[in-house]
Amino acid sequence: MRLIENRFATYELSTEEELRGCIYTIEQKAVLQNELSLAAVAKSALKLDPNDVITYAQNEAAISGKIEHIEYMLSNSDAAEEQLLRHNTDTTDTEE
């Protein structure tokens, strides 16, 4: 892993480092799932006020964005876990 100096912190990672960094622990997945559930409940509780449609649209968009982001994070973790298993299996197969 190497820090690349620029305006934002960027790291050059190997494939394995990238995959391991994307994988969440069971506890982290549970916390994310809880946040996802809370956001879904909040979204279903939104009430449209005909006198304030813009606020409803903003709140709905914010919650939808949060839901999409958490779903992305969870699916990215699962995909990285599968890729790392394949990567390790491929590495083990070529070493034999």
- What is the tens place of the pLDDT at every residue in 16-47? 999 999 999 999 999 999 999 999 999 999 99
- What is the tens place of the pLDDT at every residue in 55-81? 999 999 999 999 999 999 999 999 999
Selected residue with higher pLDDT from 33 and 92: 33
Helices 53-95, 15-22: inter-axial angle, 10-degree rounding: 130
| 43, burial (CB in 10 Å: exposed 0-12, middle 13-18, buried 19+) | middle
CA dist 34 and 41 (Å) reads: 11
